[in-house]
Copies of this chain bind each other. A is one copy, B any other.
Amino acid sequence: MLLSRLFSKTSKESASDDRSKNADLLTRAGFISKTMAGVYSYLPLGARVLWKIEKMLREEMDKIGAEVFLPSLSPTANWEKTGRLETVGILFQASGANAVSVHTNDARYILNSTHEEIITPLVQQFVKSYKDLPCAAYQIQTKFRNEPRAKSGLLRGREFRMKDLYSFHASEEDMMDYFLKKAIPAYTTFFKRIGLGDRTVIALASGGDFSKEPSREFQTKCESGEDHVFHASGSDIFYNRELTPCHAPAWGNPKEEMRPREDVVGKGIIGVEGLAKFLKIEVERTTKTILFETAKGDVVAAAVRGGYDIDEHKLRQILGTDFSLATPETVKRVTKAEVGYAGPLGLPKNVRVIWDDSTQGRRNFECGANKTDYHSINVNFGRDLPEPSEFVDIKVAREGDLDPKTGKVYEVFKTAEVGNVFTLFRKFSDAFGFTFKDKDGKEKPVYMGCYGLGTTRVMGVLAEIYNDEHGLCLPEQVAPARVHIVAIAKQKEEEAFTVAQKLYDDLTAAGVECLFDDRLEASVGSRLADADLIGVPWRVIVSPKTLEKKNIEVKRRIMKEAEMVSIKDFLKMLEI
C-alpha cells in the first residue's frame, strides 16, 4: 500500500467531538472517520484491522458452528412473536423515505439489533428430530441499535459489527455443556490470539429475566470502559457490578445512645447528599426507601443506606417476580404523602419492607417520614421500627464493599465488555413454538444459547490499550501492515528510493504486508510522526545515510532504539 495513493491521511486533530482515546487515535491515524454520532466509516487502514479481527474470529467460530449470513431487515411479525417489538427501546425500523416512495402503504420492517428473531424460525424450518440436534450457526454482520448515548468511539455505536452465534439443543444439559465447554473456550482462545488475553476476565452477569444461569461477560480491563468488574480476592471469580454479592462495610456505633425521634421539615431536597448536608448528619445515617409494585399488585418497600442504590436484579431474585417502580398514585395511597418522603415508618401492614445489610447496626438513622415535606431523624430499630427479621443484599455494589464469602474487600477495576454469552433456555423456542421429536417420539422444546462479540468494539478496545504518547501500536496480528517503509530521498531516481521500492516489492511478493511511504515531498519529521501514529510493528528507513553503511535502519514500534542492519538480516528478523 503506497501512502501517496491512500486517499485517507493522518491528521493532527481528531475531527471527532468524541473525546474517547480510541476515537481520537483511530481518527488521527486515518483508520476511521465519524459519519455521525455512533456511526463510523472504516478507511483503508481501519478496514484492514477490522477484517483481520474478523478473520481470526471466523477461524475460532468455524470450529464450533457453521457460518451463515442473515439479513438486516426482518418482518415486524417476528418481533411481535417474542414481545420485543414493543419492549426494546433501541430498535430501529425501516420504512419508505419520502413522498416519491414506491410503496404508498406504510409497510415497515425492523433493522435487526440482534438475530434471535431470524435464526430461531430459520433453524426451526430444518430441525425436526433429535437427530438434527445439537447444531450451531454464527454470522458476522452489521447490527443497528438506536443508542441514546452513542459514545466512546467504537465502544458504543448505533451501527456496529458483531459476531453472533446461536446454538440449539435437545436438553438443558446439552445447552450448558456447549455453553461451558465450547463457546466459552472458543472466546477465550480468540481473545488470547487477538492480544487481549492477559487483560480479559470472564465476569458473571445477569442472565436476563428468562435465565436462571448467569450470563458470562468477557470484560477487558480498560480505563475508558463503561463497566466495573468486582474481583473476589484470591479467587478466579469476577462479577459484573450488577451481580456482585456484597456486604457494605459496617458503619455506625450499635451502642450509640438512642436519641428522641424527631420529624424535621425539609421540603424538596433532592438526593441523600443534599439531605445529609441539610440535616447536618453523615450520608451513611440517611436511608433511601423506594416503593415497588410487583406483577401481582403487591407493594414492596426496599431500603438501603444513603450512598447506595438499589440493584433491581438482586431485588428480582429475592422477590421471585417481576416488578416496577410504584406509580405516584400508589406512593400517595400507601404513604399518605407526596412522592419523595417515603420511609418504613407506619406503612400499611401488607407492605413488605426489605432491608439491605447496609442499614444494619446503625443507631439514630434518618428515613422518610411518610408525611409530605418531612424527614424522620433519630429513628431506631426495636423502638420506632421492629427489628428486621433479616437483612439481605439488594444494593448495587460499590468500591470498598466486601465479598460475603470471605469478608475481604473486592478488587474493582474498570472494563469494556468485549463479548457476552447467554443461556437462553426456552425463551425464543417457546415464542416460536420450536420443538423437536425426541427418541421417545415425543415433541420436546428446544434449548438455545446465544453468544455475542462485537468486532468493531474489539478494535476500539485494542486501540484503547495498545498505544503510547506517539500513537497506536497494535499487535502484529491486527496491525494494518507488518512493515512501514520510509524512503528518504529528493527524487524517485535516487538510490534510497529505488532500494526502498525494491524492498517493498520483495516483501509484498513474499506475502508481507507493507506500507510504503513514498511521499518524498513531505517533511521527514511529519513522515516519521505518521509512522508512529499509524504504529505498524516494524519501521524501516532507507536514506542516503543508511545506505552509506549499506544498511537500512530498523525500529520496532514498541522499542525505543533503532538499529542499522542489512536487508538480509532484516528478513531474518521477520522470520521469512
Residues of A within 8 A of B (CB): 1, 4-9, 15, 30, 33, 35-36, 39-44, 46-48, 50, 66-75, 85-103, 108-111, 118, 122-123, 125-127, 131-132, 135-137, 139, 142, 144, 146-148, 158-159, 168, 521
Q: List the B residue with the shortest CB-CB distance to A92.
A: B94
Checking B41, B103, B142, B168 against A7 with a beta-carbon cut-off of 8 angstroms, the contacting residue is: B168
Give the chain B neighbours of A67 by CB distance below 8 A: 44, 47-48
Using A7-B168, A67-B47 as known contacts, say yes or no to A98 and B75 having CB atoms under 8 A apart.
Answer: no
Contact B146 A101 (CB under 8 A): yes
Contact A122 B69 (CB under 8 A): no
Contact A100 B111 (CB under 8 A): no
The residue in A89, A139, A147, A521 that gathers the most chain B C-beta atoms within 10 A of its C-beta is A89
23 A-B residue pairings within 8 Å (CB atoms): A5-B66, A5-B135, A6-B135, A7-B66, A7-B123, A8-B66, A9-B126, A33-B125, A35-B70, A39-B73, A40-B71, A41-B122, A42-B70, A44-B68, A47-B69, A86-B99, A88-B100, A89-B100, A92-B95, A93-B94, A93-B96, A94-B111, A95-B95
Complex CA gap A39/B111 in Å reads: 12
The residue in A5, A47, A71 that gathers the most chain B C-beta atoms within 10 A of its C-beta is A71
Give the chain B neighbours of A136 by CB distance below 8 A: 7
Contact A131 B39 (CB under 8 A): no
Checking B96, B110, B146 against A102 with a beta-carbon cut-off of 8 angstroms, the contacting residue is: B146
Checking B44, B71, B146 against A39 with a beta-carbon cut-off of 8 angstroms, the contacting residue is: B71
Contact A72 B131 (CB under 8 A): no
Using A100-B86, A135-B7 as known contacts, say yes or no to A70 and B95 having CB atoms under 8 A apart.
Answer: no
Give the chain B neighbours of A88 by CB distance below 8 A: 97-98, 100
Q: Shortest CB–CB separation between residue A146 and chain B, in angstroms?
A: 6
Contact A159 B72 (CB under 8 A): yes
Q: List the B residue with the shortest CB-CB distance to A104.
A: B148
Contact B71 A72 (CB under 8 A): no
Q: List the B residue with the shortest CB-CB distance to A74.
A: B35
Contact A98 B122 (CB under 8 A): no
Using A72-B72, A126-B7, A131-B521 as known contacts, say yes or no to A146 and B89 having CB atoms under 8 A apart.
Answer: no
Complex CA gap A91/B8 in Å reads: 28
Contact A73 B125 (CB under 8 A): no
Q: Shortest CB–CB separation between residue A159 and chain B, in angstroms?
A: 5
Using A7-B126, A15-B125, A126-B7 as known contacts, say yes or no to A89 and B73 having CB atoms under 8 A apart.
Answer: no
Q: List the B residue with the shortest CB-CB distance to A5.
A: B135
Contact A68 B43 (CB under 8 A): yes
Q: Shortest CB–CB separation between residue A42 and chain B, in angstroms?
A: 4
Complex CA gap A144/B111 in Å reads: 11
Report how many copies the assembly holds. Answer: 2
Checking B87, B97, B122 against A33 with a beta-carbon cut-off of 8 angstroms, the contacting residue is: B122
Using A68-B47, A89-B101 as known contacts, say yes or no to A7 and B137 having CB atoms under 8 A apart.
Answer: yes
Using A94-B92, A103-B148 as known contacts, say yes or no to A71 and B8 having CB atoms under 8 A apart.
Answer: no
Contact A86 B70 (CB under 8 A): no
Give the chain B neighbours of A43 by CB distance below 8 A: 68
Checking B66, B75, B95, B111 against A36 with a beta-carbon cut-off of 8 angstroms, the contacting residue is: B75
Complex CA gap A47/B73 in Å reads: 17
Give the chain B neighbours of A86 by CB distance below 8 A: 98-100
The residue in A39, A75, A139 that gathers the most chain B C-beta atoms within 10 A of its C-beta is A39
Contact B73 A102 (CB under 8 A): no
For the complex of A and B, 4 pairs with smallest distance between CB atoms? A91-B97, A93-B97, A44-B66, A7-B135
Q: Shortest CB–CB separation between residue A58 and chain B, in angstroms?
A: 9
Using A9-B126, A168-B7 as known contacts, say yes or no to A95 and B93 having CB atoms under 8 A apart.
Answer: yes
Q: Shortest CB–CB separation between residue A195 and chain B, in angstroms?
A: 21
Q: List the B residue with the shortest CB-CB distance to A38.
A: B73
Contact B73 A144 (CB under 8 A): yes
Complex CA gap A15/B121 in Å reads: 13
Give the chain B neighbours of A30 by CB distance below 8 A: 126
Contact B103 A137 (CB under 8 A): no
Contact B102 A89 (CB under 8 A): yes
Contact A98 B125 (CB under 8 A): no
Complex CA gap A1/B110 in Å reads: 32
Complex CA gap A91/B146 in Å reads: 19
Using A125-B33, A137-B44 as known contacts, say yes or no to A85 and B98 having CB atoms under 8 A apart.
Answer: yes
Complex CA gap A139/B41 in Å reads: 11
Complex CA gap A75/B158 in Å reads: 13
Q: List the B residue with the shortest CB-CB distance to A127.
A: B7
18 further interface pairs, Cβ-Cβ under 8 Å (given A8-B66, A39-B73, A89-B100): A7-B127, A7-B135, A15-B125, A35-B75, A36-B73, A36-B75, A43-B68, A44-B68, A72-B144, A86-B99, A86-B100, A88-B98, A91-B101, A93-B95, A93-B98, A102-B146, A102-B147, A103-B146
Q: Shortest CB–CB separation between residue A217 and chain B, in angstroms?
A: 22
Give the chain B neighbours of A118 by CB distance below 8 A: 35, 41
Using A47-B67, A118-B41 as known contacts, say yes or no to A100 and B87 having CB atoms under 8 A apart.
Answer: yes
Q: List the B residue with the shortest CB-CB distance to A137.
A: B7
The residue in A86, A97, A111, A158 that gathers the most chain B C-beta atoms within 10 A of its C-beta is A97
Using A67-B47, A71-B159 as known contacts, say yes or no to A91 and B85 having CB atoms under 8 A apart.
Answer: no
